[in-house]
Amino acid sequence: MGKKDDVNKLLGNLKSSAETANAPAIYTREVNLSYYKENHAWPGRNYIYIGNSFNIKKKIQSPNSRESRKRAACIAMMLAKGKGNRSCLSVGEALQHEGFKECLSRFEYDWLVREAHETLLGPAYNDKGELLPLAFTVWRKMPTPVQQNSKQGKKLAKAGKA
C-alpha cells in the first residue's frame, strides 16, 4: 500500500470514530438495572448485562397466538427452576430443558450454546419496568482479575499480561 492509501484509511477511521462519538442516545444510554434489583432478578456485580432475547418470528409476536403462549410458558418454567438463585438459571441447566430449547429461535439457540456455562438467564424487563414474558435476559460472568499478591500474578505483571 502506498502513502495515499494509508492516509485515506486513516481518514476513514477518523470519520467512523467521529460518527460513533455522535451516536444517537439510544446507543449510548446506560441500562437501568433498578427494575432487576427491585424484582430480585439481578445476579450481582460479578455479572454483566448482555441484553434481552427477542424472537422475531411473526407468529410469535402476536401475544395471543398459540406459539407465543407456549414460548412464555416455557420461559416461565425454565426461570422457575432458578427461584433460589435470583430467578436466574445457568445456560447449561437451561438448555437441558427440552421445552425451553424448542421455544428458542435458531439464532437464540446458536447464541446460547456458544456462551459459557456460568452465563445466567433471567427474567427480562423493558425500560418501563414491565416483565417481558416472551423474552429472557442474558447475564455474562465477568472475568476475575488476577490477584497481584500471588506468585502467578506477579509473574504475569512482570510479563505485561496483567
Grid cell locating 50: 448482555
Residue 96 falls within a domain, yes or no? yes
Residue 160 falls within a domain, yes or no? no
Residue 25 falls within a domain, yes or no? no
Contact criterion met (CB below 8 Å) for 51 and 70: no
Residue 71 falls within a domain, yes or no? yes
Contact criterion met (CB below 8 Å) for 8 and 15: no
pLDDT digits (tens, 9 = 90+) for 43-66: 988 999 998 887 666 555 666 788
pLDDT digits (tens, 9 = 90+) for 3-41: 888 878 877 777 777 666 555 554 555 778 889 999 888
Return the exposure string of 44-83: e unless at least 16 CB atoms fall within 10 Å of the residue's CB, then b. eeebebeebbebeeeebeeeeeebbeebbebbeebbebbe
Residue 1 falls within a domain, yes or no? no
Q: What percentage of residues in the chain have a pLDDT greater than 70?
A: 74
Residue 62 falls within a domain, yes or no? yes
Residue 16 falls within a domain, yes or no? no
Domain tally, the chain: 1
What is the residue range of 100's domain? 32-141
